[in-house]
Structure 1
Amino acid sequence: MPYKKTIYHNPHPMSDQISGTEPILCAPLLRHVDTKLIQLLRDLRPEEWDQQTVAPAWKIRDVAAHLLDTVLRKLSMVRDHCLVESPIIQSPQDLIDLVNRLNREGVTVYRRLSAQVLTGMMESACHQSADFHESLDPFAPALFNVSWAGESSSLNWFDTARELTERWHHQQQIRFATNRPGIMTPELYHPVLDCFVRGLPYAFRNVEAPLGFTMQLDVSGDCGGTWLLRKENAGWGFAGTPEANPVARVVIPQELAWRVFTKGIDRKEALASSSLEGDHALGERVFGLTAIVA
């Protein structure tokens, strides 16, 4: 039976609440983010479609084409079980090469569409995508694992949260490029940040430290939160209780955080605009987290 229960992620995270330890149940938010995307695309002036974004290889029409391609691809593969290719993935680089090729091919095709045609197709696809993700049991196994978090298998809630980050941050790229207001609300942005940060344990997997060492990440702003990464016997993981004296503390403004984790800002610029306390070498590892496959 399809999963019917509707659960929203806490839209108003408390400033003293520790994030990172609970499932991100955000399926209904996909519909809200994509509704804003459709309106954004309809509001773009013709000349804005060819403006450059923070993604060096993509103009706005390319980002829009990518968003259309990925939602159609996800529906085809996951909902409709249409797997035309059976690639052999033997390494992380094989996966990166495959994803980059599929993205490149999709953008090449859909960037040729007019704004009206692309937006109309996007609206239809987004409605279907929202219906599909809301129907899933969030605790059932997902077809695809979240590779940038180091998982060999993932649950639907994580795959759906990953989808939310994609829809949110690519739309944000368009808004950023055209100087339009972002969609930085606690309801929509905090779950995105929470999902991004779930990649930290994997990013720290090769960092040697004594047991109990704790690194605190704060994303400042009303959409942000606090995450505690602690070294345990099994490796680095998230802690749910506050630490009085973390070995390192990193504070990233919420305006920059999404760019830090999606390769949208130079590392030196990000460090200069953030705050590090304690063990700087440990804290700087946060800026190596890339929560996208690229």
Structure 2
Amino acid sequence: MIETVHLFPQLDAKLIELLKSLSPDDWNKPTVARLWTVKDVAAHLLDGNMRTLSLIRDGHSTPPDRGINSYADLVAFLNQFNADWIKAFKRISPKLLTELLETTGKQYSDLMQVQEMDTDAVFSVAWAGEETSKNWFHIAREYTEKWHHQQQIRDAVDKPGIMTRELFLPFIETLLRGLPHTYRDTDAAPGTGIHIQIDLEGPMEWYLVRQENHWEITTEFSAQPIADIQLDADTAWKLFTKALTPAQASATVILSGNESMAAVALNLIAVMA
């Protein structure tokens, strides 16, 4: 289990501190989220708080306005869903947006503290190929959303603050749980291992290991890996959240051993896209 609940208050406090420090021009700066400005990303974070409080705390939900019969259908629905929210919040001031984020962020963090970690989640982690997920994984996925959207804002305004091992490690550990699904069509002999190293305040290491009928992500592997992947933390978060393409990331990613096997990892997309 990846523990993230204790980090929500800290991450949220850093977000509010960041937003209160922004100049009027900062709010309109573009981000790596392509069409979204800093203000748009902040509005999206508010949407996450308010929808979670409405659904989990208050039991209020609205069914989709269309049939969802595939992953592509779900992504299309979410894209339109998000775009509608962003458009509506164009009329809301940055000051009010920050105040709403401060209020709902505390309520969100309090709600996370009382969740049962081992029960089935209301939503599965679809990018990891799961049809049903445990609540701890769903909550960890929510942490990755909050972390990477805040990092998009920090990247846009050049104000670092959450690229620390304490806050980044749970983020990247959660994302890497999507690698077995990314490799689902990549065959190898059982016992084959791929070494992954991501550097931030020193190396962080994992192994993707082939079992009889599936791949598994782990931190321990005693045999010689067939391939190695090494990248820095800044490249990793952008690559795995679709802010960089594999081709763009190739300038800073080091592949060795069986490079074609290693390169599959660069296709991991740990967001709904």
TM superposition shift of 1:221: 2.0
Match of 1:207 among 166, 181, 186: 186
Distance 1:223 1:76, change over 3 A: farther
- Secondary structure in structure 1 of the residue aligned to 2:53: helix
Q: Which residue of 2 aligns with 1:162?
A: 141
Comparing 79-88 and 146-155, the one that deviates more: 79-88
Is 1:29 aligned with 2:29? no
Report percent identity of matched pairs.
36
**Number of aligned positions between the proteins:** 272
- Cα deviations by residue, 1:78-116 (Å, 9 ceiling, x for unpaired): 222211224542111111112111111111112321011
Preserved CA contact (<8 Å) 1:229 1:237 = yes
Letter in 1 for 2:68: I
- Within 5 A, what are the aligned runs for 1:138-287? 138-222=117-201, 225-287=204-266
Kept in 2, the 8 Å contact 1:71–1:126? The answer is yes
Q: Distance in 1 between matches of 2:70 and 2:10?
A: 36
User: Is the CA contact 2:206–2:220 (under 8 Å) kept in the aligned structure 1?
Assistant: no
Quick check: 1:84 aligned with 2:87?
A: no
Q: Is 2:104 the partner of 1:125?
A: yes
Would you say the 8 A contact 1:251–1:276 is kept in 2? yes
Residue 222 (structure 1) shift? 2.3
Are 1:93 and 2:72 counterparts? Answer: yes
1:215 is paired with a residue of what secondary structure?
A: strand
CA distance in 2 between counterparts of 1:241 and 1:195 reads: 17
Asked if structure 2 preserves the Cα contact closer than 8 Å seen for 1:190 and 1:223, the reply is no
Matched residues in 2 for 1:239 and 1:71: separation?
31
Instruction: Report if the CA contact (8 A) 2:195-2:206 is conserved.
Output: yes
Distance 1:266 1:223 in 2: 25
User: Structure 1 residues 223, 88: closer, same or farther in 2, change over 3 A?
Assistant: farther
Q: 2:228 touches 2:262 (CA, 8 Å); kept in 1? A: yes
Moved over 6 A (4+): none
CA RMSD of aligned residues (A): 1.4
TM-score by length of 1: 0.89
Name the amino acid aligned to 1:31. P
SS at 1:230's partner residue?
Answer: strand
Higher relative contact order, chain-length normalized (CA < 8 Å, sep 6+): 1
Letter in 1 for 2:48: T
Which stretch has the larger CA shift, 238-247 or 204-213? 238-247
- Aligned with 1:59 (options 25, 31, 37): 37
Structure 2: 5+ residue stretches without partners: none
Which stretch shows the higher mean deviation, 145-154 or 104-113?
Answer: 104-113
